[in-house]
Structure 1
Amino acid sequence: MTKGEVQVTAFEANSTLQPPIVRSLELNAENTKNPEQLTMVRKKETRRRNRRKKPMVVRNNTSVQELPEAEELISDVHLSIISNLSLCNGRNSKEVAIPSGTVKTLNKVNGDSGISNATFPRLPFRRLRKKLLILDINGLLADIVSPPPKEHKADTKIARRAVFRRPACRDFLKFCFERFEVGIWSSRSERIATRVIDYLMGDMKHKLLFCWDLSQCTATGFRTLENRHKTLVFKELRRLWEKHDPDLPWEKGEYNESNTLLLDDSPYKALLNPAYTAVFPHPYKFGDGVDNSLGAGGDLRVYLEELSAAEDVQKFVEKNPFGQRPITENSASWDFYLEVISTMYSLPSSV
């Protein structure tokens, strides 16, 4: 077989290349013919075969391809289907075979265009999403202080609050967008969270999958242990996994415990989530001095680099603890949080 030829047996053309409707019509026609009609048809087929001693030629814009003599009749419908397989350039082609039930090409890529010389039907491809990384704002990307300290000049002021951007914040965000799908979940009000995000991210904010604030948190009716003026809220990941907001840009169930990580400096906010779906870095304070946690080679950056390549988030976090420990029954504050949860769900406060 010379370069550019296509080998197709009549059986393969009949069984593989025909649309189902064509095969169905042919079967119905055969079943309705009487013996005399069948004899006449066979004579016609014999005469046609005799006229097809020479190989058939299919011409296109760039090359001539020969079809070897078929042992059975190949209808014009079959030839039309074969020509539509775009076997249009034999200059760089090796042998192309179309076996029954499959379509394969051994064509090389055209060096001039960078496009394969043969185009065949492809299976649908669904891009696999990267893991979902959910970032807090205050204590992770910045230190938001109220009232503003008089002895230190803030990077900016928003709603009478001083905002100190964490070192390497912008570079860290670029890294996050490269390795993860990223969303923001702040426990600040929408009014403040939106303005802080605008300042910290600039145009990068358009890459966020979502931007949630206090209104998407689970209220408890309690105040935090650290600040009696601050409401205690939880961030329930199931709201994301179950797609409580229909505008979230993914299908329900696409994200789960195995591919989602919450980054928050407050461990209590993850109390209602499955274990090992959150990491709690130590909070950033503008007066802490040198801080390179978000920069290249920084501890949090390195940790996330490794996690992005891991197969399962939960398994990775369990084997590689980072930052503050999660709140458990062994924590000094456990009795308080048990009371909070018991009150919310009408459970007994002790067992």
Structure 2
Amino acid sequence: MRAIEHLIEEESVIKKARMVGNVEDVPMPVLVDVAASDVEGSENNQVCKTSVEEENNKRIEEVSAALSLADANTEKLPSLALEKNNEASSVTSAAVTSRDEIKQVIVSNPSVSRRRKLLVLDLNGLLADIVSPLAHCKPDINIGRRAIFKRPFCEEFLKFCFDKFEVGIWSSRKKNNVDRITEFLLGDMKRKLLFCWDMSYCASTTLGSLENRHKHVVFKDLNQLWEKHDPRLPWQKGDYNETNTVLLDDSPYKALLNPPYTAIFPHSYSHHNKSDTSLGNGGDLRLHLERLVEAENVQDFIKNNPFGQEAITEASETWEFYREATRMHTHIRI
């Protein structure tokens, strides 16, 4: 019986040692030898010895099974916890590295953190020549009883614009025609436009223009963009202003409601000019805009780098006519 009691005591010690992770320091008992020493010296106790040995063997099997199960569980759980900790550590480390890399890019390249300038493009005279149908000349397409001649390098120029600026279209033509012409000229790039405005967004007058008395004078008031008069515009009020917006139009009078030096007036494109390269790589307009991209302030750049047609000012011959037009204008959309 002493052997059995000793066995139970040893088993209890082993279990406690396993629980604290020090099982390696506890020697495994030679249970059979202990039992044998207790019954040694008497042949009459052979039956008792056999019974004790069987009991010992049974206990050994039970203890071994219990210890094996404990080993499996104790080894598995810390492993899983370690894996989760390692994964969390990796994610955290990656996030920190990513933030540091982004910060470094912005610090080393200040232009990355600056908002891209807003470029407002006209259609007729800039990207195409839109005229009445001609019997002797075939256009690229006819839209709304008008012949459309796409300007050379138009597609390449548009790709450049979308790459360097935020871009919108503003034409003084009717919406239906503007949509169709824009679709033809831009194709899949049309989806990149921040807006596509037509004549209904212009400030109108009842005064016939000097070029065509059947065509009323209209203005493109950039304040409508800056003040976000149309809630669908994809920016916040105040994001754009006279320092980071430029109107590109071949009709200088259309910019008369705007602050000075917020527009560039290239000379009008004519389909008769077969050698036109202004929009191409190395073309005069393209080079001018490449310099504008790097400028800190649109107004300062335009003032110090004149290009194309001059703006209409008090010194212009047509000043009195257009001053009267600005006094009688009305906004169709508010």
Q: TM-score range by the shorter chain?
A: 0.5 to 0.7
> Partner residue of 1:298?
283
Quick one: which amino acid aligns to residue 140 of structure 1?
L
> Partner residue of 1:337?
322
Give the whole-Å Cα distance in 1 for the aligned partners of 2:82 and 2:221: 61
> Partner residue of 2:178?
193
Measured against aligned partners, the alpha-carbon deviations of 1:54-105 in whole angstroms (never above 9, x if no partner) come to xxxxx742889xxxxxxxxxxxxxxxxxxx9x5459xxxxxxxxxxxxxxx9
Tell whether the 8 Å contact from 1:87 to 1:117 is kept in structure 2 after alignment.
Answer: no
Normalised to the residue count of structure 1, the TM-score between the two structures is 0.64
* Aligned pairs (5 A) from 1:166-177: 166-177=151-162
- 273 and 61 in structure 1: CA distance in 2 versus 1, 3 angstrom threshold: same
Tell whether the 8 Å contact from 2:203 to 2:329 is kept in structure 1 after alignment.
Answer: no
SS in 2 for 1:327: coil
Measured against aligned partners, the alpha-carbon deviations of 1:306-325 in whole angstroms (never above 9, x if no partner) come to 10111111110000011000
- 88 and 150 in structure 1: CA distance in 2 versus 1, 3 angstrom threshold: closer
Give the whole-Å Cα distance in 2 for the aligned partners of 1:281 and 1:120: 43
- 333 and 121 in structure 1: CA distance in 2 versus 1, 3 angstrom threshold: closer
The structure whose RCO (Cα within 8 Å, separation 6+) is larger is 2
> Partner residue of 1:182?
167
5+ residue gaps, structure 2? 1-80, 107-111
- 61 and 245 in structure 1: CA distance in 2 versus 1, 3 angstrom threshold: same
1:300 Cα deviation after fit: 0.3
> Partner residue of 1:141?
127
Out of 196, 201, 205, the position equivalent to 2:190 is 205
Quick one: which amino acid aligns to residue 61 of structure 1?
E
Tell whether the 8 Å contact from 1:60 to 1:88 is kept in structure 2 after alignment.
Answer: no
* Aligned pairs (5 A) from 1:22-61: 60-61=82-83
Out of 239, 242, 245, the position equivalent to 2:230 is 245
- 246 and 62 in structure 1: CA distance in 2 versus 1, 3 angstrom threshold: closer
* Aligned pairs (5 A) from 1:56-205: 60-61=82-83, 86-88=88-90, 115=94, 128-146=114-132, 148-205=133-190
Task: Please report the RMSD computed on the Cα atoms of aligned residues, expressed in angstroms.
Answer: 2.8
- 123 and 271 in structure 1: CA distance in 2 versus 1, 3 angstrom threshold: same
Give the whole-Å Cα distance in 1 for the aligned partners of 2:122 and 2:314: 25
Give the whole-Å Cα distance in 2 for the aligned partners of 1:260 and 1:291: 26
Normalised to the residue count of structure 2, the TM-score between the two structures is 0.68
* Aligned pairs (5 A) from 1:250-269: 250-269=235-254
Measured against aligned partners, the alpha-carbon deviations of 1:103-125 in whole angstroms (never above 9, x if no partner) come to xx9x7xxxxxxx46778899999
- 122 and 229 in structure 1: CA distance in 2 versus 1, 3 angstrom threshold: same
Tell whether the 8 Å contact from 1:88 to 1:117 is kept in structure 2 after alignment.
Answer: no
- 236 and 117 in structure 1: CA distance in 2 versus 1, 3 angstrom threshold: closer
Residue 280 (str. 1) matches residue 265 (str. 2) = yes
1:181 Cα deviation after fit: 0.3
1:343 Cα deviation after fit: 3.7
- 88 and 235 in structure 1: CA distance in 2 versus 1, 3 angstrom threshold: closer
SS in 1 for 2:272: helix
Give the whole-Å Cα distance in 1 for the aligned partners of 2:97 and 2:219: 56
Give the count of matched residue pairs.
243
- 62 and 334 in structure 1: CA distance in 2 versus 1, 3 angstrom threshold: same
1:129 Cα deviation after fit: 3.0
Tell whether the 8 Å contact from 1:87 to 1:118 is kept in structure 2 after alignment.
Answer: no
Tell whether the 8 Å contact from 2:217 to 2:325 is kept in structure 1 after alignment.
Answer: no
5+ residue gaps, structure 1? 1-58, 65-83, 90-104, 108-114, 346-351
Q: Which has the higher helix share?
A: 2
1:288 Cα deviation after fit: 2.1
Quick one: which amino acid aligns to residue 265 of structure 1?
D
User: Which ranges of 4 or more aligned residues in structure 1 deviate by more than 2 Å?
Assistant: 59-64, 86-89, 115-129, 341-345
Give the whole-Å Cα distance in 2 for the aligned partners of 1:189 and 1:303: 30
Identity of aligned residues (%): 56
SS in 2 for 1:269: helix
